[in-house]
Amino acid sequence: MRVVIQRVSEASVTVEGKRIAEIQKGLLIFVGIEDTDKQEDIDWLAQKITNLRVFADENDVMNLSVKDAKGDVLIISQFTLHALTKKGNRPSYIKAAKPNIAVPLYEAFVKKIEQELDKTVQTGDFGANMKVALINDGPVTITIDTKNKE
């Protein structure tokens, strides 16, 4: 699994002109899933994200997690995170999981984040053409790939 995490002061997702999810201060997480991803990737990644210290404490030092900051979370599926661009000018998405594999893993990831935070998170619409709006706070943008855990 590969994620791009952005610390935001607000974010929302719109599908076909209708806003389907929005958050205030928290994390916007774009997640890409590969065929080889498993539950252990979900478990490791959810723990890593929910404990990642990227929010400012009283001394304005990034020392608080989204849990500590009581932030919101918006999770968006994004298969393009697995784009291969080495050859030619058209990205290849051969490493991205097909929906029959990706959807259950995506849903399990959302549930695991909710368990870690003990709260409901917002999501996009898997496979839909989504318009994502955000105000990146910092800016703070972090990428994590479960294939590079070590």
Q: Any residues with CB less than 8 A from the CB of 67 and at least 6 apart, and which?
A: 50, 51, 116, 117
Q: How far is CA 96 from the centre of its chain?
A: 15
Q: Distance between CA 76 and CA 23 in Å, rounded?
A: 12
Q: Distance between CA 92 and CA 32 in Å, rounded?
A: 14
Please identify which of the residues 36, 80, 120, 141 carries the catalytic annotation: 80
Active site residue 143: no
How wide is the angle at C-alpha 62 spanned by C-alphas 59 and 66, nearest 5°? Answer: 115
DSSP tag of 48:
H
User: Which among 147, 146, 139, 150 has a CA at the least distance from the CA of 47?
Assistant: 146
What residues are labeled active site? 80
